[in-house]
Amino acid sequence: MTAERDGEPAEGQAFVCRMLFAHGVDFVLIGGVAMTLHGLRHLTDDLDILYRATPDNIARLGQALETLGAHARNNPVLRFDAAVDLGELATWEGNLFDTPYGRLDCFRDAPGVRSYDLLRRHAEAHPLAESHVLAASLTDLIAMKRAAGREKDLAVLPELRRLHRERTQARHTRRTR
């Protein structure tokens, strides 16, 4: 499941988004798929989401994970069971899953994100999976990558900044015409 095909996520990633939509999960895409939707050619083998950490939304996410047949990363024996595992979604910062449709990384919090509400307010809607998915804004992606500080995150910062400059200049040019 790699995202890169002409600025669109792979089929498995789109299916996972459809399942999250079908269960009413409130989430924003972050990471590689979000960068791909913004037009950055980026290979990724997972779908990263930041979800609203309210009890109702966590319950919906839990149901979606069960429907998707999610299990702990690299451990198919540890299948997600909403009746038992919802507490982990509520308390752990990040939960990494494998599904038959690819990897799904679910984050309650992320470095560089001040609040879910601000991230969601700045997020941009992109067509995906017969709907529109919210992807973190370029500004927020840059902040997250910088705050994470991992080598792979820092490596994409120049491209994200370039894309952000181009978009900002294009908006400015349209306003001054």
Contact 52, 24 (CB under 8 A): no
Mean pLDDT of 98-123: 95
pTM of the model: 0.89
Q: Per the domain annotation, does 99 fall within a domain? A: yes
CA 93, CA 108: separation in Å to the nearest integer? 5
Residue 103 φ/ψ, nearest 5 degrees:
-80, 140
Q: Per the domain annotation, does 6 fall within a domain? A: no
Residue 134 φ/ψ, nearest 5 degrees:
-90, 130
**Average pLDDT across the chain, whole number:** 90
In the block, residue with structure tokens 């789109």: 14
Q: 96-109 pLDDT, tens per residue?
A: 999 999 999 999 99
Q: What is the pLDDT of residue 161?
A: 96
Q: Per the domain annotation, does 120 fall within a domain? A: yes
Q: What angle do CA 52, 58, 64 make, to 5 degrees?
A: 110
Q: 46-92 pLDDT, tens per residue?
A: 999 999 999 999 999 999 999 999 999 988 888 998 888 888 888 88
CA 7, CA 36: separation in Å to the nearest integer? 5
Q: Per the domain annotation, does 169 fall within a domain? A: no
**Domain interval for residue 96:** 11-136
- Does an H or E element contain 55, and which? helix 55-67
Q: Per the domain annotation, does 167 fall within a domain? A: no
For residue 28, give the CATH number of its domain: 3.30.460.40
Q: Per the domain annotation, does 145 fall within a domain? A: no
For the cut 80, the answer to whether the pLDDT of residue 7 exceeds it is no
Contact 97, 105 (CB under 8 A): yes
Q: How many domains does the chain have?
A: 1
Three-state DSSP class for 98? strand
CA 96, CA 45: separation in Å to the nearest integer? 12
